[in-house]
C-alpha cells in the first residue's frame, strides 16, 4: 500500500512542477527494509526531475538513515524525515530544483563575505510545526554557499547527539559548536546574531 495518498501525490506534484533543474537525493541507510527509501521511491514517481540513489552502510557509528539533497553534499538530513519534517524534505528538493535564490540580500552578502566555514546543525522533532522553517533556512544557506554545511537532525533518533548539544527544546540551531539559537527565528535574526557572534569571536 502506498505511503502517500492520491490527494497528497497531487499536491506534491504541483510543487515539484516548479522545478527547472534535475535533483538527486542520496539516501544512505542500514541494510534491510527502510521506510525512508519507500517514500523517496514514491516521490521520484512524481517528477522526472527527481532521482534517488541508495547507498547501504554497515558502519555502526553512522547516523542512519541519512539524506543528502542535491549534488553539493552540504544539504543533509539525519534521521527519518517524517511528520512535519517531511515538508522540510520536500522544500529542500524543490529548492535544489530551482535556480532562483530566495535568501535575502543581507543573507547573501553575509554568505559571500564568509571568511570561515559554517557547520549548522538544526535539531528537530517530527511533531514540531515550528521546526521546518529553521531547517529550510539552514539548507538554503548551504545550497547557496560552499562554505556552509547544514544538517537537520531528528533529535529523538540521535539521542547521544541531542545530549551532546544540550537539546531540550526544538528547534535548536547550533553553529560551529559555539553558537546556538533557540526556537524558530526569522532569517534576519539568525544572520544578525551570527554576525555579532563571529565578530566577538575574532
Partner 1 sequence: MSFNVSVGLVDSGVKKGEDSYQLVIAGGGPAALSAALYAARYGIKHVVLESWKPGGQAALTAEIENYPGFSLIAGSDLTDAMKKQALQAGAVFHMETVETAVEKNDKILVKTDSAEYTTDYLIIATGAAPATLGVPGESKYYGRGVSFCATCDAPFFKNKRAIVVGGGDSAVKEALHLTHVVSELGLVHRRDKLRAEPFLATKLIEHKKVATYWNSHLAEVVGDDMGVTGVVLDTPEGKKHIDTDGVFLYVGTIPATEPFVSLVELDKKKAVLTRNIVGTSNPRVFAAGDVTNNGFRQVVTAVSEGARASAAVFDLIQNEE
Interface with partner 1 (CB under 8 A): 3-5, 7-8, 11-12, 15, 18, 35, 39, 80, 82-84, 86-88, 90-91, 94-95, 98, 100, 102, 104, 125-133, 136, 155-156, 162, 166-170, 172, 180, 182-188
Nearer to partner 1 among residue 101 and residue 117 (C-beta) = 101
H, E, C per residue of the chain: CCCCCHHHHHHHHHHHCCCCCCEEEEEEECCCCCHHHHHHHHHHCCCCCEEEEEEECCCCCCCCCEEEECCCCCEEEECCCCCCHHHHHHHHHHHHCCCCCCCCHHHHHHHHCCCCCEEEEEEECCCCCCHHHHHHHHHHHHHHCCCEEEEEEECCCCHHHHHHCCCCCCCEEEECCCEEEECCCCHHHHHHHHHHHHHHHC
Nearer to partner 1 among residue 22 and residue 187 (C-beta) = 187
Closest CB 202 distance from partner 1, rounded Å: 25
Class of residue 74 by CB neighbours under 10 A (exposed 0-12, middle 13-18, buried 19+): buried
Nine-digit cell at 114?
A: 564568509
Closest CB 82 distance from partner 1, rounded Å: 4
Nearer to partner 1 among residue 28 and residue 107 (C-beta) = 107
Nearer to partner 1 among residue 77 and residue 86 (C-beta) = 86
Closest CB 199 distance from partner 1, rounded Å: 22
Nearer to partner 1 among residue 38 and residue 117 (C-beta) = 38
Nearer to partner 1 among residue 63 and residue 94 (C-beta) = 94
Closest CB 90 distance from partner 1, rounded Å: 5
Closest CB 126 distance from partner 1, rounded Å: 6
How far is 129 from 178, CA to CA, in rounded Å? 26
Closest CB 56 distance from partner 1, rounded Å: 21
Amino acid at each position: 500500500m502506498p505511503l502517500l495518498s492520491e490527494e497528497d501525490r497531487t499536491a506534491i506534484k504541483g510543487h515539484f512542477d516548479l522545478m527547472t533543474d534535475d535533483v538527486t537525493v542520496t539516501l544512505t541507510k542500514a541494510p534491510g527494509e527502510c521506510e525512508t527509501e519507500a517514500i523517496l521511491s514514491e516521490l521520484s514517481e512524481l517528477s522526472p526531475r527527481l532521482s534517488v540513489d541508495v547507498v547501504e552502510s554497515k558502519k555502526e557509528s553512522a547516523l542512519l538513515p541519512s539524506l543528502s539533497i542535491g549534488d553539493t553534499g552540504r544539504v543533509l538530513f539525519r534521521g527519518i524525515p517524517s511528520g512535519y519534517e517531511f515538508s522540510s524534505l520536500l522544500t529542500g528538493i524543490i529548492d535544489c530544483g530551482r535556480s532562483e535564490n530566495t535568501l535575502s540580500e543581507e543573507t547573501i552578502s553575509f554568505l559571500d563575505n564568509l571568511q570561515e566555514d559554517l557547520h549548522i546543525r538544526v535539531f528537530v522533532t517530527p511533531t514540531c510545526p515550528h521546526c521546518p522553517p529553521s531547517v529550510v533556512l539552514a539548507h538554503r544557506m548551504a545550497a547557496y554557499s560552499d562554505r556552509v554545511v547544514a544538517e537537520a537532525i531528528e533529535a529523538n533518533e540521535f539521542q547521544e547527539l541531542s545530549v551532546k548539544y544540550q537539546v531540550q527544546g526544538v528547534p535548536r540551531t547550533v553553529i560551529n559548536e559555539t553558537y546556538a539559537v533557540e526556537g524558530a527565528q526569522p532569517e534576519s535574526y539568525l544572520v544578525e546574531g551570527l554576525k555579532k557572534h563571529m565578530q566577538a569571536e575574532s
